[in-house]
Amino acid sequence: MPCRLASGLLADDMDIICPCNYRDADVEEYGCCLCVLYVSDDWISGKKKHDPIEERRPQEYYEKGYPSVMEQKGAGGKEMAQVYRCNVCGYLCAREEPPDLCPICRAKKERFEEFEMKG
Ligand code: SF4
């Protein structure tokens, strides 16, 4: 379930399905993600200030959908971004490359494999 405004099309919303693609960078920079569901120890202890978080998702993604959803030349259809699956917990994400750490089970990037979505 995304916490940002979703288009309703899975392919266009793949980057904002929780835990979203922006979580790691926000937790690293601000100590928490945009929705403050994921927080770091420093954020909890108050070492990290509870500053407002700037939206990291580009505005054009809201207008056009996740940009790795590419229009197929000639076919006029859309193709989804590469989906990766964590081999440890099954977490799925659509990104240019898998995350350094799985946001669910903390498995390393090497534990991800390419996953083919059907249908
Ligand atoms: S990781 Fe945080 S910002 Fe991203 S969708 Fe989940 S709750 Fe929202």
- pLDDT one-digit tens code per residue, 39-71: 999 999 999 999 999 999 988 888 888 765 544
Q: Ligand 1 in contact with 34 (CB < 6 A)?
A: yes
35 lines ligand 1 (CB under 6 A): yes
**Stretches in the chain below the pLDDT threshold 50:** 70-77
Query: What is the C-alpha to C-alpha distance for residues 19 and 92, in angstroms, rounded to an integer?
Result: 10
Q: Which atom of ligand 1 is nearest to the CA of 22?
A: 4
pLDDT of res. 10: 82
The span from the CA of 74 to the CA of 38, in Å, is: 42
Q: Distance between CA 3 and CA 29 in Å, rounded?
A: 20
pLDDT of residue 73: 31
- Classify domain 82-119 at the CATH topology level: Rubrerythrin, domain 2 (2.20.28)
